[in-house]
Amino acid sequence: MRKELLLALTVVLAGCTVPAFGGNDHPDAPNGEDSIGWENGYWYDDPVDVTTDDGLNESEREAVTARTMARVERIRDREFTETVPVEVVSRAEYRNRSRGNGSGAGPPEDPWNDQVWESLLLIGEDSGSSETIDDTLSTSVQGFYSPSRDEIVIVSPTETPHIDRRTLAHELVHALQDQQFGLNGSAETQDQQLARDGLIEGEANYVQALYQRQCEGDWNCITRPDRNSGGGGGGPQNPGLFTVIYQPYATGPFFIDAIYDDGGWDAVDAIYDEYPESTEQVIHPKKYPDEEPENVTVPDRSNGEWNRFDHDPVADTVGEASIFATMYHNNQTDANRYRYQSEPSAGWAGDSVVPYHNGSGAGGYVWVSTWDSEKDARQFAQAYRAALVEEHGATQPRANVYVVPDPSPFADAFRISRSGDTVRIVNGPTVDDLADIHRPRG
């Protein structure tokens, strides 16, 4: 999986006009002032005296971190304002922390979000979305930067405290982003968060790839640990969910490359003043920043038995990247998994998913999406219907109505209708519930 992405990044970088980062063209010391390419006593091309076979002790980690900060500065042409502490934990310890220090409580239930993920046919009724997301992240996270603590945590790929140089460089980019631009903002919808991460994670993966290229060329770099020697994360618990989560890391570097190609790092800096508003803009960089997503509203046509959740916001927007994941993992496209472009997901213009519930604990949703053309809308609707029938065994008792039988985790009734460039999907436990959740127009 990561090998395939790295090959894709190599192709991207092959066409880039980037500076050479090797060469010893600096003084022995920065003359009492900090300089780009120098951190805590180390220039970017200085050697570090470390032994990696038995892991890295505290002083070795400090040396490697200082030189890696200097190298990130050299690539990114931006200065760290503070030293970034780095902690190394095992995979088991990371899982323990993410689950409340072993309390066994697990992540809280989120029935509103459960319906959003169910609409995508990625997390069914046999799993809670919060727990599934937590389990998937616990096997895939290699490290993270905490803006609130100004700290990096590296998940060691081995039982001994090793550091993967690419992971360290990646997380240091996040620390640099936070120091230079601030990373404390938030997004209201799933699509906006993925788009925002397309910039943040995209730049980090882009710099990480440039770093790795230098390790294969001019720079001497520490040996990468053997991930098969214990403590590895394994495969994702939910591949469909993972495809959604991974989108910023996969398409973000292509987005950054397109922006860099137009205006260098100054153009990349400017994106922090105007984040991309949709994954569509990240997947298709030419649509940034002018093609903004449409604001889709869903009128409430429910009866007294069904109600919207008391949730702010009341609706979510899943966007093009998540729709691609739906199509890919329900076998409605054979497109490249890491490019996030397919006929059923292309032409997205906007969407809104509104979850519903009744007094008996059952759930449903209304999902309205708009598309650039009637053809785009038709392709999406046809592919969603085909996913229900071909992958989940749905029957069609009448026009536009589908029923997925037990024991499928998506066992429900669906009403799918299209009018011009708009597709409306209504979901509920039974066919009779569909009109109670969202009454059809008379």
Note the pLDDT tens digit of each residue in 241-258. 999 999 999 999 999 999
138-170: buried (b, 16+ CB within 10 Å) or exposed (e) per residue?
bbbbbbbbeeeeeebbbbbbbebbbbbbbbbbb
Note the pLDDT tens digit of each residue in 348-366. 999 999 999 998 999 999 9
pLDDT > 80? residue 277: yes
Whether the link from the prior residue into 313 is cis, omega within 30° of 0, is yes
411 and 358 housed in the same domain: yes
3-state secondary structure of 69: helix
Q: Would you place residue 231 in the very low, low, confident or very high pLDDT band (cuts 50, 70, 90)?
A: very low
Tell me which H or E stretch contains 395: strand 395-398
353 and 232 housed in the same domain: no
177 and 30 housed in the same domain: yes
Closest alpha carbon to 56 in 151, 168, 133, 184: 168
165: in domain: yes
Residue after which a domain boundary falls, among 287, 315, 330: 287
Closest alpha carbon to 258 in 322, 293, 335, 206: 206
pLDDT > 60? residue 3: no
246 and 385 housed in the same domain: no
Note the pLDDT tens digit of each residue in 42-81. 999 999 998 888 888 889 999 999 999 999 999 999 999 9
pLDDT at residue 140 in the model: 85
pLDDT > 50? residue 143: yes
| Residues 366, 297: Cα–Cα separation, whole Å | 11
Backbone angles phi, psi at 354, to 5 degrees: -115, 110
320 and 216 housed in the same domain: no
87 and 145 housed in the same domain: yes
Strands 401-403 and 413-419, sheet pairing: antiparallel
pLDDT at residue 234 in the model: 59
292: in domain: no
C-alpha dihedral over 298, 302, 306, 309, to 10 degrees?
20
413: in domain: yes
241: in domain: yes
276 and 327 housed in the same domain: no
167: in domain: yes
Percentage with pLDDT > 90 across the chain: 76
How is the beta sheet containing 151-155 ordered, strand by strand? 86-89, 151-155, 143-146
321: its two tokens = 């990247």
70: in domain: yes
341: its two tokens = 């472009």
Note the pLDDT tens digit of each residue in 362-403. 999 999 999 999 999 999 999 999 999 999 999 999 999 999
Across residues 406-421, what is the average pLDDT? Answer: 97
3-state secondary structure of 45: coil
Instruction: DSSP letter for 224, please.
Output: P
67 and 193 housed in the same domain: yes
334 and 257 housed in the same domain: no
Note the pLDDT tens digit of each residue in 296-318. 999 999 998 999 999 999 999 99
Give the Cα-Cα-Cα angle 266, 153, 97 (nearest 5 degrees): 135
Backbone angles phi, psi at 320, to 5 degrees: -65, -40
258 and 381 housed in the same domain: no
Separation of first and last alpha carbons in the chain = 49
300: in domain: no
Across residues 77-99, what is the average pLDDT? Answer: 90
pLDDT > 50? residue 215: yes
Domain range for 169 is 2-287
Residue after which a domain boundary falls, among 287, 314, 330: 287
Q: Which amino acid is at 405?
A: P
How is the beta sheet containing 422-428 ordered, strand by strand? 306-308, 348-358, 363-371, 422-428, 413-419, 401-403, 395-398
301: in domain: no
For residues 316 and 189, the answer to whether their CB atoms sit within 8 Å is yes
262 and 326 housed in the same domain: no
193: its two tokens = 């968060």
Across residues 154-161, what is the average pLDDT? Answer: 83
Residue 145's DSSP bridge partners are 152
Number of CB atoms found within 10 A of residue 5's CB:
17
How many structural domains does the chain have?
A: 2
Instruction: Provide the mean pLDDT of the chain.
Output: 90
pLDDT at residue 315 in the model: 98
| Residues 332, 387: Cα–Cα separation, whole Å | 7
| Residues 109, 131: Cα–Cα separation, whole Å | 8
For residues 350 and 344, the answer to whether their CB atoms sit within 8 Å is no
282 and 329 housed in the same domain: no
